[in-house]
Structure 1
Amino acid sequence: MQAERDASWQRLTAYAYLSAPERLEHIAIMRVFCGTLLADLAVPDVLDKLAGSAGPAARWDADTLSARLNQLVKWGNLLPSTHTVKASSISEYQRARSRYQLSKLGERIQRDADEVLAGADAAREVSSELLALVERGLRELGELVAQPGGAEPQEALERVSTIFVQFTEFADSIRDFYAYLGQVLARYDLDSAEYQGFKELLLDYVEAITEDVSFRAPRIASILNTLWPQLPSLLSLLDSHSRGLSGGPLGADGQLATRVQRSRGRELADWEGLRGWFADTEGRGSQVDQLRDATMRALQSLLANAKRMLRSASGEMSRRKDLLRLAQWLDEATPEDAHDIAVAAFGLYSARHVGIPPVTDTAVPAYTSWWTGPVVEVPVSLRERGSRAQRGRASVVEDHSDQKRRLQGTARAEAEARRAAADELRSGSGRFTQIRLTSPALSLLLELLATALGNAQLRRTAGRDPEHSPGFTVEAACSEEVELGIRLTVRRVEGAATVLHSTDGDLTLDDLEITLVGIGEQVPAEETRVSAS
């Protein structure tokens, strides 16, 4: 297990030259070696081939190139040549002693890298016609296997190889095209022309691909189900006819001494992958189902872009192009101008220009960390726009005239009711035991009584009878209502009982006598004293 992990790590190390700082130089060297077949090159040979190329590698000396070649050997992309050097002189031997050849892993990685660099951003066409050829080839292969005497080995081998070459090309083109489609779907800055092209691409091209695959997938799956029982005997027939590199010598453990990657279609796993592309064999869905789901997501993204373009008329659109232009300005500007551009674009002024007072009753010690300290509420206008100014039109002042008139009317009615109650109390002064007060008059009288008792001063008096305890008398117990012009005086008289009759009931005041007069009037006490009932 450890050996397998080490081998995997070594193979992944071969990709290191693509991310190294000198990656363009390493790629130029690898392209020189990939342009040869089973050839070993010395440093002078590589220098000669690089001299005609553009780039910094064309100006290298032998020492720099030797360092780059040795580094590629450490990563596993190149191998030191083991060929015998025949030299007629010492100078020729020194020229040819360090020779290098391309490793299998290095050649494959460089080939994939060149393919990515050549067409990474291009939309690859889907070879949908290959699907019809795959269906025809499988049907003809099924007829060969079902005929009396079985299939002829060479013809069956040619059919299998052709089927898998066509299917591999078709599947790769599908994956590349939908990868490009996903890259387009991730963009939210499509303008009208790009959106129109995307719509035609999706509605016409993708729909044609999906319909073709949906039409042929069940037929291919049916042919594979019919052919499946004969597959073991067919693969045995092909192995007996042509084993290829798998017929090499075996090691001590009974396995091949050399690891062999067989041609597509010669292993049962290849057929299982082909069958799983068109039919759900493991309960995880087929590639055809995934194709339909990807097409549905693409349609949803198309609708999302359409909604975005409709909203763009109101200003709600992507600012990607504007941000890219701003980034270009910042990249090309001097440091001083870059600061000015950033301030103008984002409004990021110095912190001293933003001051928000904290809550007045909150005392924060100087050693309190900003991380754990109290938060200051930032106004929305300042947080979102960097300005304290209020936006929009000033709101119209609400008209409260009707409410004011209602309140004034209510206040006048209450004042009239209090004046009427005061007149009633003045008219009934001295004969409260003989009349029945209205509810407003009694409320006003009780209000004056409560104020008078609140203003009263209690004075302790010595009792005349030694057997009885001393009592209390009320002094300065009076209240007045200047606006109504009435004054109420209260006196404490032992044994007295003042009864007030009203529509709300009778009120008895024990040991109290009340006198009510108008302000400025002097009425004898015997005329204003309320009789006890």
Structure 2
Amino acid sequence: MVKSVELNNKLLKQIDETRYLTAENAWRYRTILRFFYLQYEKMKYWMYKEDVLEELNKHSEFKEYTMEHLKQDLDVLVSWKNLVPIQDTSRVATVEEFKNKQFRYQLSEYSVEIERMTLRLENLLVENASLEPSLLEKLKEELGRFLRMVNEDEKTVGFWWRDLNNDFRRLNQNYQDYIGDFYSLKAEEMMKTQEFLVYKERFIDYLRDFIKGLQHNVNAIESILTNITEADERVVINKIFSYEKAIPRLDLEIRDDDILDNIWGKWLNLKGWFLGENGKESEAARLFEITNEIIRKITRYAAQISESRNSAANRKEEYRKLLEMFLSCGELDHAHKLSAVSFGIFSPRHIKGDFARKTESINSGIFDEEAYIYTIKPRIRSYREKEKKTPIPNHQEKKAAMLKKIIQERQKEKEIMESYITDGVISFASLSLINGQIRALLLRWLAKGINSPDKKSKTEHGRVFRLISPENNARCQVRCEDGDFEMPAYKLQFEPEVDR
């Protein structure tokens, strides 16, 4: 019931008003338009360039910024439809001033909305991100009132719809923001620290409480949604549509189809969140899995921290014992050997490559496996591998035998075809029962004759023939071993063979 994306001119054309955000001098354009926007918020809609320059020169970044620079920037912003200019004749005292065109500038409607959006982006913070079961509880209560909305008036249904969507939106935003924090690089680093152990139990208890609420409320919501009939759905959706349509909107025309499509889209998305759609897993089930995965992740990191802390404590004793062993070494050579055993080679060479092992055992050591011989090639430009000279094989006998076989087949084929020529003519209408090989050969000759400008051609044996078209478009039936077919009654007239 939800429409697909409608492609129109508004959607397909680029929005020139946003070009100032990514242009080469974006820092200047954005500052100018931000000043216009702040004045717009104070209900000062029209600005002179002198006012703009005075404000810009207050900042160190614009100390060398001149009126000429400002005029160029304003002209660019006007060309991108960010500013609307109007000539101010009230300040003109001379003809020269009129020619210089004193303008006032106003922020366009698009630019107002774009600046509002950029302000929201600049101050975008994840606030109150949480996994509160109370939101699911509230959604369950709102959906439980669905059947009552069938008999309520449009205004009551409209208010109920707004509350339902607000709660659903908050649930989505909160869980996405909260879950997103756990998958951030900052969270990964924090969970690897010793301090995280203090909060581990609190996090796990909080997430488990949410899972309990999720299981309890989602099952109830699924039951409510599955019991709603299509007829009740249509009644309630139509009431919501009537309510939304009745809201007066200034300077904005919204088609009825768009309003209805938006309502149905929201409702189907809400249902899909809990019930799933097109055989796919529901978002509620996915949230349940993600939350469990986070608990496992927290537990895993905590275990790693505890293990590393314990191993560090054990290592102290090991290092103390090792130091005693070094102190007991009577000779330097003995100490070198102990160092080699304890720490290995200080400057090892690692050889890596695509070696095929005969075993997949991870416990198998180097000396347990067979030696691998690897040929090392010189890394110099002039190095070339020796080319092996191989003689060209002599296939003369095979060629002679094959040629003899082909000549015999051609001779046999010629004898068979000669048997179909009567008085120098092969008439397709007079052919007896033929096999597939003869049919293919005759049709090949026929195609040669048809494609020839003078209707003449040669057979593989060198005989010249001419194609004779049927009179009065006569047709005939050719009988073959694998079936009959109908065709024009062509004739192939052969010229007498010349003795050589």
TM-score (norm 1): 0.46
Bigger relative CO (Cα 8 Å, ≥ 6 apart): 2
Rg (Cα) greater in structure: 1
